Amino acid sequence: MTPVDRKLRVLIVDDSATVRRFLSDLVNSTPDMTVIGEARDGQEAVAMAASLHPDVISMDIQMPVMDGLAATELLMQQHPLPIVIVSSRLERSEKEVDLAFLALQAGALAVLKTPPAASHPDYPAARDQFLGTLRAMAAVSVVRRWQTKPIPPTGETLPRTAPPLVIAIGASAGGPMALHTILEALPADFPIPIAVVQHMAEGFIEGLVRWLDSSSRLRVRLAEPGQFLQPGEVTVASSAGHLTLHRVGDRARAYVDTERGSTPYQPSVDRLFVSLAEGFGPRAVGILLTGMGDDGARGLLQMRQRGARTIAQDEESCLVYGMPRAAVELGAAEQVLPLKAIAPALLALAQTVQPR
């Protein structure tokens, strides 16, 4: 068997024998993945991960002996591996949600609900999301955690369990195709509004918006001063000025500042990210994609310092590894993900958002 043909090796961790068998059958029913072990608790998971070297772990949260949070923290220190939190109790247990978000902070890459039984109408979509997330996260290069002190949040201190209110994406060279890849993977009812700053020559932004709108199930539109961002929509900054977002209750309102200021870019990714750091704190997500220069890196750092989730595209999937590199070197990126892993990560975050 060549490396290209090698199956992804999955470790299933759950205290329920029924759930372990159900998830194992799902994985083993695919031609490109295989279950190499089943653990009943976090302690078994740590030991099996050290001996079996899985490509990805499906990890329950509440378990006896050692729970999924403690196991994730230990694995990230001793044997860093891609971990996906998979729980059937996320909708019923506030404690489960708290632990799941702490596991993300400790190094887990995504949180999913356990797929329902095959007779449930949501089973096909949930099955595909579970398997797709395992595939995507298996490709993520993870690093040891807590080798240095984590950056302490400042300002607003809402719990990380609070769901995101807005997602901001910044990109430059190579950005249009990267944006296309992310947006086409999101459903029409994606519940978190998205704002985008893409560096592009004047006169081309409108064409970008038309192209993304035609190729995505989301509505893609140019930013208008004073508009409220909506779920299921992507708001793209025009070249007329800097797009910033202001919080009004639990909604994001767009403003356009036509004063260029000291930045060489208009619109500026940093300006957008800083507005989210100041107005939304931990209720925001910042993503920095492929591009030249360093625009967005400092703003992403401010977002992370205020408790937001921050993601940088990895070097291998970038057309130009400039802006993400600058963010990584500053310590601004909580996660560094391949391009195709970003949409699954956003879908996992969206699991926590209640319909408005």
- In the structure, what pLDDT confidence band is assigned to residue 271 with cuts at 50, 70 and 90? very high
- In the structure, what pLDDT confidence band is assigned to residue 149 with cuts at 50, 70 and 90? very low
**Is the bond preceding 267 in cis, omega lying within 30 degrees of 0?**
yes
CA distance 36 to 24: 9
pLDDT number for residue 354: 60
**Of 312, 307, 256, 319, the residue nearest 283 (C-alpha):** 307
Instruction: Let me know if residue 32 belongs to a domain.
Output: yes
What residues contact 21, with CB distance under 8 A and at least 6 apart? Answer: none
Using DSSP bridges, classify how beta strands 233-236 and 194-198 pair: parallel, antiparallel or unpaired: parallel
Catalytic residue of the set 24, 60, 199, 294? 199
Domain boundary residue among 121, 138, 155?
138
77 vs 18 pLDDT, higher one: 18
Q: What are phi and psi of 205, to 5 degrees?
A: -60, -40
pLDDT number for residue 104: 72
pLDDT number for residue 157: 38
pLDDT number for residue 226: 94
Catalytic residue of the set 87, 172, 216, 275? 172
pLDDT number for residue 303: 96
Asked if residues 253 and 244 have their Cβ atoms less than 8 Å apart, the reply is: no
Burial class (CB in 10 A: 0-12, 13-18, 19+), 119: exposed
| Mean pLDDT within 267-293 | 95
- For residues 40 and 108, membership in a common domain is answered with yes
Instruction: Let me know if residue 249 belongs to a domain.
Output: yes
Residue 140 has pLDDT above 70, yes or no: yes
Angle (CA) 119 22 338, round 5°: 100
Instruction: Let me know if residue 274 belongs to a domain.
Output: yes
* Domain boundaries, position 89: 3-138
- For residues 171 and 133, membership in a common domain is answered with no
Residue 170 has pLDDT above 60, yes or no: yes
pLDDT number for residue 234: 98
Reported as a single tens digit per residue, the pLDDT across 113-136 is 899 999 999 899 889 989 988 998
CATH number of the domain at 12, please. Answer: 3.40.50.2300
Tokens of 62: 């509440």
Whether 199 is a known active-site residue: answer yes
Instruction: Let me know if residue 187 belongs to a domain.
Output: yes
Reported as a single tens digit per residue, the pLDDT across 80-101 is 899 998 987 755 556 666 677 6
Residue 2 has pLDDT above 60, yes or no: no
Catalytic residue of the set 41, 270, 295, 314? 295
Reported as a single tens digit per residue, the pLDDT across 182-235 is 999 999 999 999 999 999 866 678 888 888 998 899 999 999 999 999 999 999
Task: Please report, in angstroms and rounded to a whole number, the separation of the first and last CA atoms in the chain.
Answer: 49
Tokens of 169: 């994406």
- In the structure, what pLDDT confidence band is assigned to residue 351 with cuts at 50, 70 and 90? confident
176, 196, 258, 273, 346 from 245: Cα distances, Å: 22, 11, 14, 9, 20
CATH number of the domain at 293, please. Answer: 3.40.50.180
DSSP state of 238: -
DSSP state of 281: G
- In the structure, what pLDDT confidence band is assigned to residue 144 with cuts at 50, 70 and 90? low
Whether 55 is a known active-site residue: answer no
Reported as a single tens digit per residue, the pLDDT across 13-27 is 999 999 999 999 999
DSSP 84-136: EEEES-TTT-HHHHHHHHHHHHHT--EEEEPP--TTSTTHHHHHHHHHHHHHH
Q: What are phi and psi of 297, to 5 degrees?
A: -65, -45
Q: Rounded to 5, what percent of the chain is helix, strand, coil?
A: 35, 20, 40
Angle (CA) 340 26 311, round 5°: 25
Instruction: Let me know if residue 252 belongs to a domain.
Output: yes
pLDDT number for residue 173: 85
- For residues 208 and 115, membership in a common domain is answered with no
Instruction: Let me know if residue 147 belongs to a domain.
Output: no
Number of compact structural domains in the chain: 2
- For residues 60 and 105, membership in a common domain is answered with yes
Tokens of 199: 């560096």
CA distance 319 to 183: 18
Whether 295 is a known active-site residue: answer yes
66 vs 201 pLDDT, higher one: 66
Lowest mean pLDDT among 135-149, 173-187, 278-292: 135-149
Overall residue count recorded for the chain in this entry: 356
Angle (CA) 307 95 167, round 5°: 35
pLDDT number for residue 1: 40
pLDDT number for residue 62: 87
pLDDT number for residue 15: 94
43 vs 207 pLDDT, higher one: 43
